[in-house]
Structure 1
Amino acid sequence: MNVPKRYARAVGMTDEAWKRHANPWSVWTRFAAIPLMIGAIWSREWLGWWALVPVALVVVWLALNPHVFPPIERPESWTARGIYGEKMWLRDRSLISDDHRNVQRLLIGVGSAGFALLGWGLVALEPWPTVFGATLITLGQLWRIDRLGLLYLESTGHTTTS
């Protein structure tokens, strides 16, 4: 079993949780957690060990997030289609065409580079790698959601968005 699938199982991503996670509020508040986590980690400069409190709050929010919003039964929004596509991708990788597979690999590389830069920036308390890394992660995730939404549309017989 691959890492994303294990993670999804570990955080209780049942069919109901996936429907709740497809809610645009779930998706956008997870993106909002990126600067919150950066601020929480950066706050160690002022708060010392107390910085673990805001870090823990963000981690708890990220764990609860896919479970707290109303479920989306029909993925009509861009974000909902992306999350439904992500669920399909995690459950059956054979659904992915070579085109989607290549873009997913590229986006994993973009996200990994962003994560490395972000990590460096947060350890060294350097603004430019922190901001650039967070930007790469965000853009990579947005592009990934878009591609997974296309995967969902293609696999359900839709060729264009409505």
Structure 2
Amino acid sequence: MDILKTTEKLMSMDENTWARHSNPLSVYTRFSILPLFSLVFASIDVLGWWTVAALLLVSIWTWLNPRIFPAPTNTDNWASMGTFGERIYLNRHKESLIPRHHLRMCQIIMTLHLLGIPFWVSSLVTMKYSLVVLSTLWLMFTKTWFVDRMVWIYQDVKDLNPTYQSWLRTEKQQSHFRERPDSKTSN
């Protein structure tokens, strides 16, 4: 079972949603989700039954995040290319363009990430706040490492598929489209 593919289906990620999610604001604010879940669970004694409402709000934020920001005009940045690489990685079973060394490294990163989850859950159950912080940081570190690998994948395979190339839009391209030819006519 591919956890990332299952998550993509649950999130209902279509072409438009992926385009919006490539906005760096979407990518960077998405990093707030795990700390928010950690905070909610770590505050269960304070929140009581309001924990359910807080979990619902964080879940709504998780779903809304890739949808609320506009598609960026410039995608020549780490965050945007991270989402492009993720799309390519999710499509790896249909189109095997990703070099083996990247796939091997993704497996290592995902394994390290998954190994952190039981520690995170355990720290939340036992309410050991220092472990909540450490395990949350570990999961954030491995997630960031994974996104960085996705950027690398995108950079390595973008020239192999015209669709992948079309996702990259630079400031230079945008200014070229905005320029208008000189309308002056010579006398």
TM-score (norm: length of structure 1): 0.90
Residue 32 of structure 2 corresponds to 32
CA distance in 2, matches of 1:10, 1:139: 24
Shift of 1:2: 3.0
Residue 109 of structure 2 corresponds to 107
In structure 1, stretches of 5+ residues that fail to align are none
Residue 155 of structure 1 corresponds to 157
Deviations 1:69-109 (A, max 9, x none): 11136531101001100011101242221211111111111
- Residue pairs, 1:49-128, within 5 angstroms: 49-72=49-72, 75-93=75-93, 94-128=96-130
On the 8 A contact 2:42/2:129 being kept in 1, the answer is no
The DSSP-based 3-state class of the residue aligned with 1:60 is helix
On the 8 A contact 1:95/1:155 being kept in 2, the answer is yes
Identify which range, 56-65 or 94-103, moves more after superposition.
94-103
Higher helix share: 1
The DSSP-based 3-state class of the residue aligned with 1:135 is helix
Query: Could you say which structure has the larger radius of gyration?
Result: 2
On the 8 A contact 2:40/2:51 being kept in 1, the answer is yes
Identity of aligned residues (%): 28
In structure 2, stretches of 5+ residues that fail to align are 161-169, 171-187
Identify which range, 85-94 or 145-154, moves more after superposition.
85-94
1:138 to 131, 135, 140: 140
Deviations 1:120-153 (A, max 9, x none): 1111101232112111111111111111111111
On the 8 A contact 1:20/1:70 being kept in 2, the answer is yes
**One-letter identity of the residue aligned with 1:133:** S
**One-letter identity of the residue aligned with 1:85:** G
RMSD over equivalenced CA pairs, Å: 1.9
The DSSP-based 3-state class of the residue aligned with 1:75 is coil
Identify which range, 145-154 or 41-50, moves more after superposition.
41-50
